[in-house]
């Protein structure tokens, strides 16, 4: 068995997310597995670094899969890209160590959330930007971000109410950058709960709108209750930027 690692980019707009859902569902994983099956004549299971929700995009999604027959990485790259729709692309593919597993070996991830702040939309990137057309108090948002850094129980920032596993995660970095007509929030951590990045962003935006203060963050965290945090920001503004191993 040969093990392969690949880097996948996608515009998630049209898809029901990364992860295959039974036999139905228009998913990125499903599209890729179908093509690898066509190529090899066998079912090939793809392991992604993690799910991305419906409508979320990827610049850095990483996955691995095993083939019974050894094939050249470039040969697979050519074949797969020939059959993929135009909103999914495999950027890189290479042989990996037998033990490499894209999800289990992931050490950290970075997500980017983009907010359109100008009255005019960015017409060429509007599929990847949550456009609000308003301005935010970025200094207050940065102050709030400080409270989120480090290791906490992020249960209040998780949409899955029946989460049985640990909801403790570590956030290493939150960068809030103001660009021309755009606010960009990059969040790096060791892993993220269901909807966690979008709830973090939704809460930070409410702070930027003066609907909340930065000081509410410790209170929200310690409450361990989803209802204390802000709204879940829309999927379209979110992109998985990088997976670290």
Q: Which is nearer to a copy of itself, 85 or 218 (CB)?
A: 85
Binding footprint of a copy of itself, residue count (CB under 8 A): 26
Phi, psi of 79 (to 5 degrees): -65, -50
| One character per residue 190-209, x = contact with a copy of itself (rule: CB under 8 A) | --------------------
DSSP state of 149: -
68: Cβ–Cβ under 8 A, 6 or more apart, which residues?
Answer: 1, 40, 42
Q: Which of 88, 187, 221, 233 binds a copy of itself (CB under 8 A)?
A: 88
CB of 112 to a copy of itself, least distance (A): 12
Phi, psi of 154 (to 5 degrees): -95, 30
CB of 239 to a copy of itself, least distance (A): 9
Judge whether 52 and 58 are in contact, CB under 8 Å: yes
Q: List the alpha helices (DSSP H) in 191-236.
A: 196-208, 216-223
Query: Of the ranges 40-48, 65-73, 75-83, 217-225, which one interacts with a copy of itself (CB under 8 A)?
Result: 75-83
Q: Which is nearer to a copy of itself, 112 or 169 (CB)?
A: 112
Phi, psi of 18 (to 5 degrees): -70, -50
Quote the tokens at residue 80.
Answer: 């797969």
- Told to check if 179 binds a copy of itself by CB under 8 A, we report no
Catalytic residue among 11, 34, 53, 190: 53
Residue 53 annotated to the active site: yes
* Cα 96–Cα 97–Cα 100 angle in degrees, nearest 5: 85
71: Cβ–Cβ under 8 A, 6 or more apart, which residues?
Answer: 2
CB of 174 to a copy of itself, least distance (A): 23
Quote the tokens at residue 86.
Answer: 């135009």
CB of 53 to a copy of itself, least distance (A): 17
| One character per residue 147-166, x = contact with a copy of itself (rule: CB under 8 A) | --------------------
Site for a copy of itself in 36-65 (CB under 8 A): 57
Phi, psi of 188 (to 5 degrees): -115, 140
Catalytic annotation, residues: 53
Binding-site ranges for a copy of itself (CB under 8 A): 9-11, 57, 77-78, 81-82, 84, 86-91, 119-126, 128, 131, 133
């Amino acid at each position: 068995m040969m093990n392969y690692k690949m880097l996948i980019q996608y515009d998630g707009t049209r898809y029901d997310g990364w992860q295959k859902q039974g036999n139905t569902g228009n998913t990125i994983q499903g599209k890729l597995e179908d093509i690898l099956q066509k190529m090899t004549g066998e079912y090939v299971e793809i392991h992604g670094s993690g799910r991305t929700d419906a409508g979320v995009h990827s610049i850095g999604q990483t996955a691995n899969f095993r083939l019974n027959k050894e094939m050249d990485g470039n040969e697979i790259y050519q074949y797969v890209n020939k059959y993929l729709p135009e909103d999914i692309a495999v950027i890189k593919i290479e042989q990996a160590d037998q033990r490499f597993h894209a999800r289990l070996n992931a050490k950290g991830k970075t997500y980017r959330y983009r907010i359109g702040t100008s009255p005019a939309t960015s017409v060429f990137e509007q599929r990847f930007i949550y456009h609000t057309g308003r301005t935010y108090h970025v200094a207050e948002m940065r102050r709030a971000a400080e409270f989120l850094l480090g290791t906490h129980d992020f249960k209040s920032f998780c949409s899955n109410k029946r989460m049985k596993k640990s909801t403790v995660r570590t956030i290493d970095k939150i960068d809030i950058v103001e660009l021309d007509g755009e606010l960009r929030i990059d969040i790096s951590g060791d892993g993220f709960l269901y909807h966690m990045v979008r709830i973090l962003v939704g809460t930070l935006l409410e702070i930027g709108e003066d609907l909340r203060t930065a000081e509410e963050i410790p209170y929200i965290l310690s409450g361990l209750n989803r209802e204390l945090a802000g709204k879940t920001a829309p999927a379209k503004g979110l992109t998985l930027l990088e997976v670290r191993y």
